[in-house]
Amino acid sequence: MKVLVLNCGSSSVKFQVIETSLEMIEANSDATLARGLVEKIGLSDSRLAIEVEGRKPYQEISEILEHRTAVERVLKVLVHPEHGVLKSVKELEAVGHRVVHGGEKVASSVLVTPEVEAMIEECVVLAPLHNPHNLRGLNAARGLLPGVPHVAVFDTAFHQSMPPMAFIYGLPYELYSRHRIRRYGFHGTSHRFVSIRTAKLLGRPLEDVRIVTCHLGNGCSMAAVDRGHSVDTTMGFTPLEGLLMGTRSGDLDAAILPWVMTMEDVTLSQLNAMLNKHSGLYGISGVSSDMREIEHACATGNKRARLAFDIFCYRIRKYVGAYAAAMGGIDAVTFTGGIGENSSLVRQTSLAGMEFLGIELDEEANRVAPRGKEILVSKGGSKVAVALIPTNEERVIARDTVRVLGGVMPSFAVPGTEAPR
Ligand code: ADP
C-alpha cells in the first residue's frame, strides 16, 4: 500500500510517500516514491520541495501560513501530473505520523483515535516544542484525508522497555510520581530500525544479540538494545542528556546551572538557549556545530576544534563501555545518522583501543566504507561486530503503519518495567 509519512515541526512539514506491505517489509523491498519538505511555514516565502527518483527536483515558493495549508499543498503536488507520483490522493491508503513524545502510556505505534489524540495532548507538557506541532499536522491530515487510517509513531516508545533503575533520576521521588520526571529517551524509531537491521546483517536472530546503537546526527544518542529491547539510552527527560551534540551540552553537573545563573546573571530562557543552542561541538570549538567543519578545522590545527572532536568521541567510547557492562557483554556496535554513517574518523577514534572488549575495527574497511550501504567494518575475527546502517525513520513510520493496520504491531515494552507508584 502507499503510505504518506508526515513529520511536522514548528515551521516545517517533511513528507514521504512509501510503497510498502508486510511482504515487502520482510523482503526489505519497500520503496520511497517521493520525498519532500515544506519549510518556513508562517512566512510569505514558504518553500515546498519534492524529489522523485529519476526526475529533476521541483520547488515552489509561496505564502503558507499554517500546517493545514502546508499539508494541502503537499497533497496537491503529489498529484501534479509532472512533479507528483499519484493519479489521485485516493491512492494513499494510510498516513503515518511522527510524534515525539508518548510519555509512559505508549510502548508501540498506535492507530490514532480520539483517546490517542488526547494522550498526545497530555504529553505536550513533556515536549512543548514538538508535540503541539505534531498534533497540528495530525489534525490537518485527518481533516484532509478523513477516509484513511492515521497511525502515530513515537520517538519515545521504543525506550519504554527501560527498567526503573535506568530511567529514574536520583531526585526526590515525588518529582516522578507528581510530574513524571524521569528518563524517556528519544530517536527510538532509529535505534529500533538499526538494531533490527544489524541482527539481519549478522544473520542472527534479534533475540540473541546485544547491540549498542549510536545515532549520531545533529542530535546524538546511544542505546543499549538487549535482545531487541532498549534497556538504556543516553537521552533523558529531554534530548539534552548524554552525548555531546552539535549545539547541546549532553551530560553535565546540574549544580552548574544555579551557579551560572548567579554569577552570569542570566535568565532561565538564556540558560536554556545556552544548553541547547550554544553548547556542544559549537560551544567548545567556537567554529561550528557541523562535524565536517570540525574535522576540517582539526586538520588545519585548530586546538579547540580538536578538543571538541575528542570530547565527542570520548563520550561515545565511555557509553560503549557502560552499555557493555549494562548488558553483560555486547555482540555489535552500530553507527547511524549523518556523522555515524559518514565519519570514518569519528568511528575510528571512538572505538580505538577497545580490543579488550572484543571490538576490532578493520581500519581500511572503515575508511573506504561506501555511503548508504548496510555494511560491517570490523575485522573478520572481531568478537564484536561494528556495523554501519543507514537509518530511515520515515521507512520505519511507514512500516509501523502497515503493521498496526495488519494487527501485527508488537509492544516494545517488556513486563516488569514499571516503577512503583
Ligand atoms: P539530523 O540530526 O539533523 O538529521 P544528520 O543525521 O543529517 O542530522 O547529521 C548531520 C551531521 O552529520 C552534521 O554534523 C554533519 O556535519 C555530519 N556529516 C554529514 N556528512 C559527513 C561527513 N562526510 N563527515 C563527517 N560528518 C558528516
Query: Chain-centre distance of CA 382, in angstroms?
Result: 28
* Contact between residue 245 and residue 219 where contact means Cβ atoms under 8 Å apart: yes
Q: Is the CB of 367 under 6 A from ligand 1?
A: no
The vertex-100 CA angle with 96 and 106, nearest 5°, equals 80
Grid cell of 216 as nine digits: 549520531
Q: What is the pLDDT of residue 417?
A: 83
Q: Is the CB of 283 under 6 A from ligand 1?
A: no
- Distance, CA 42 to ligand 1 centroid (Å)? 27
Grid cell of 107 as nine digits: 510502548
* Contact between residue 116 and residue 172 where contact means Cβ atoms under 8 Å apart: no
- Distance, CA 342 to ligand 1 centroid (Å)? 7
Segments of the chain with pLDDT less than 50: none
Rounded-to-integer distance, Cα 246 and Cα 252, Å: 15
Q: Is the CB of 221 under 6 A from ligand 1?
A: no
- Grid look-up 546511544 returns 222
Site to substitute for ligand 1 among 213, 244, 292, most atoms within 8 A of C-beta: 292
Nearest-10 crossing angle of helices 303-327, 344-351: 60
Which residue's alpha carbon is at the smallest distance from atom 13 of ligand 1? 290
Burial readout 325-354 (b: 16 or more C-beta within 10 A, e: otherwise): ebbeebbbbbbbbbbbbbbbbbbebbbeeb
Q: What is the pLDDT of residue 416?
A: 79
The separation between the first and the last C-alpha atoms of the chain, rounded to the nearest angstrom, is 43
Q: Is the CB of 339 under 6 A from ligand 1?
A: yes
Q: Is the CB of 343 under 6 A from ligand 1?
A: yes
Reading phi first (left if > 0) and then psi (alpha if -120 to 50, else beta), residue 40 is in: left
Q: What is the pLDDT of residue 290?
A: 97
Q: Is the CB of 132 under 6 A from ligand 1?
A: no
Which residue's alpha carbon is at the smallest distance from atom 3 of ligand 1? 218
- Distance, CA 218 to ligand 1 centroid (Å)? 6
Q: Is the CB of 338 under 6 A from ligand 1?
A: yes
Site to substitute for ligand 1 among 296, 342, 388, most atoms within 8 A of C-beta: 342
The H-assigned helical ranges of 280-392 are 280-285, 291-299, 303-327, 337-342, 344-351, 363-368
The H-assigned helical ranges of 145-184 are 164-167, 173-179
Q: What is the pLDDT of residue 410?
A: 87
Q: What CATH superfamily is the domain 2-184?
A: ATPase, nucleotide binding domain (3.30.420.40)
3-state helix, strand and coil shares in percent for the chain, rounded to the nearest 5: 40, 20, 40
362 tagged catalytic: no
Among 192, 258, 201, 251, residue whose Cα is nearest residue 225: 192
Grid cell of 40 as nine digits: 518556513
- Distance, CA 335 to ligand 1 centroid (Å)? 12
Domain boundaries, the chain: 2-184, 205-390
Cα Rg for the chain, rounded, in angstroms?
22
Among 93, 98, 106, residue whose Cα is nearest residue 15: 98
Q: Is the CB of 217 under 6 A from ligand 1?
A: yes
**Can you name the CATH fold of 205-390?**
Nucleotidyltransferase; domain 5 (3.30.420)
Please tell me what DSSP assigns to residue 58.
Answer: E
Indicate which atom in ligand 1 lies nearest the CA of residue 295: 25
- Distance, CA 292 to ligand 1 centroid (Å)? 7
Q: Is the CB of 32 under 6 A from ligand 1?
A: no
| Fold equal for 2-184 and 205-390 | yes
- Distance, CA 280 to ligand 1 centroid (Å)? 14
| Catalytically annotated residue among 30, 155, 226, 232 | 155
Indicate which atom in ligand 1 lies nearest the CA of residue 337: 6
At residue 419, what are phi and psi to the nearest 5 degrees? -90, 155
Hey, how many other C-beta atoms are within 10 angstroms of the C-beta on 179? 11
- Distance, CA 133 to ligand 1 centroid (Å)? 24
Indicate which atom in ligand 1 lies nearest the CA of residue 218: 2
